[in-house]
Amino acid sequence: MKKFNIPSFYRSPLIQKVKEFRKQQDPKRRDFAPSVLNYGRIKYYIPRHFGFCYGVENAIEIAFKAIDENPNKNIFLLSQMIHNPEVNKDLEERGIRFLQDTYGNTLIPFSELKDNDVIIIPAFGAPLEILETIKRQNIQTYFYDTTCPFVERVWKKAEQLGKQDYTIIIHGKYQHEETRATFSRSKQYNQSVIIRDIQEAQRLEPYILEQKTQEEFEEEFKNKFSEGFNIHQHFNRIGVINQTTMLATETEEISEYLKQVMIKKFGDKNINEHFADTHDTLCYATNENQTSVMHLLNSDADLAIVVGGYNSSNTSHLVELLQTKFPCYFIASSREILSEHRIRHFDLHSKQIKETENFLPQKYEIKVILTGGASCPDALLEEVIQRLNELLKVEEEESVDVLK
């Protein structure tokens, strides 16, 4: 796999030591057993795969290249490059400004762009409508495109499905940048619908089976389908693609569920004429990270800490998996660990920041699951380790092993 030129301050000698150990122990990356970073009193269970993925490293390399190559120009990010507050803050401190927020709301009007300004397209990609709006300014704007290659692969699958006259079902969060970028393309290829989860897939069933009306569909899925969508015409051939950072298992569940709905409607004899096999739209990093976390669910850990941006889709899904078994604390950085007794963290259910007392168990030996999302620098994980070790007055040298 390609090596990227990532600033050293995002790296971590400690985390790199863990990665190198696993690379030597498992060069083919097939062993999903967690790593153990052992300090005696405290052990950190670290999943086999975590942190910066290919697409994020690619985006960071391009963004810093844009800064280096344009010292006297205005540089704008179309929106957050990745969903990590530390990385985005760092880019802002280097002079980059955001044209939009993460939901597509305008922060700086496109009309203020001038000749020779530079725009960086985020790793999620950008909706075609926005790119066309910028081009209509009739100015010489220079683009640096950091779109993840795995997102572009989903776009190609959407194009392939559309050309084969399949309606495109997108599993994604409607307001997420990547989903908006994907939808802007898929609806050019063929009719498209966005669904958030298996519950929305189930709500789609009566429309596929024509048990509910067009008017009900338009009300229930308002703003989530392409113009001209007709439930009587466009649910005869369907294929599922996804926002690459969703739960891989849920995309598979949705795909299998909708396949069974199509079998109910058309029978299974010629199901391939009505339902497309699209399993290859799943992102490898999302899949690996989630599988690695699932291998931790049977461990004897006391708690889990997940580091990442609170608006990060792939990170939130790691939290969802871990909190089924452990007390799980979703934090942006080590600064959220206020003391050995108190932690400030993001609650996925209430979407609020909260503080929890006595988050560490009241015993001498503690086992902590520690991981980060695909947009989380390794350095942030090392800072969490240093913070906990300092609070617990851990002085032993670390050792690395594989959890048996």
In this predicted model, what pLDDT tens digit does every residue of 102-119 receive, in sequence order? 888 999 999 899 888 999
Question: What does each C-alpha distance from 218 to 165, 207, 229, 230, 261 come to in angstroms?
Answer: 21, 10, 9, 9, 20
Contact 152, 285 (CB under 8 A): no
β-strand 399-402 against 35-38: which pairing, if any?
A: antiparallel
The whole-number pLDDT of residue 133 equals 87
CATH architecture of structural domain 8-53+285-402: 3-Layer(aba) Sandwich (3.40)
Burial class (CB in 10 A: 0-12, 13-18, 19+), 2: exposed
Q: Where are the domains of the chain?
A: 8-53+285-402, 54-147, 150-282
Please write the tens of the pLDDT for every residue from 125-151: 999 999 988 888 777 777 899 999 999
Amino acid identity of residue 74, one-letter, is N
The whole-number pLDDT of residue 404 equals 79
| Domain 150-282 listed as CATH 3.40.1010.20 | yes
Catalytic annotation, pick one of 178, 200, 288, 383: 178
Contact 146, 59 (CB under 8 A): yes
Model pTM greater than 0.85? yes
Contact 12, 362 (CB under 8 A): no
Residue 178 is a catalytic residue: yes
Contact 99, 108 (CB under 8 A): yes
The whole-number pLDDT of residue 1 equals 60
Question: What does each C-alpha distance from 320 to 88, 291, 315, 373, 392 come to in angstroms?
Answer: 24, 13, 9, 12, 27
| E-strand stretches of 66-127 | 75-77, 97-98, 118-121
Contact 237, 191 (CB under 8 A): no
The whole-number pLDDT of residue 280 equals 64
The separation between the first and the last C-alpha atoms of the chain, rounded to the nearest angstrom, is 28
The whole-number pLDDT of residue 245 equals 84
CATH fold match for the domains 8-53+285-402 and 150-282: yes
Q: Can you name the CATH fold of 54-147?
A: Rossmann fold (3.40.50)
Regions of the chain where pLDDT drops below 70: 1, 280
The whole-number pLDDT of residue 338 equals 98
The whole-number pLDDT of residue 297 equals 96
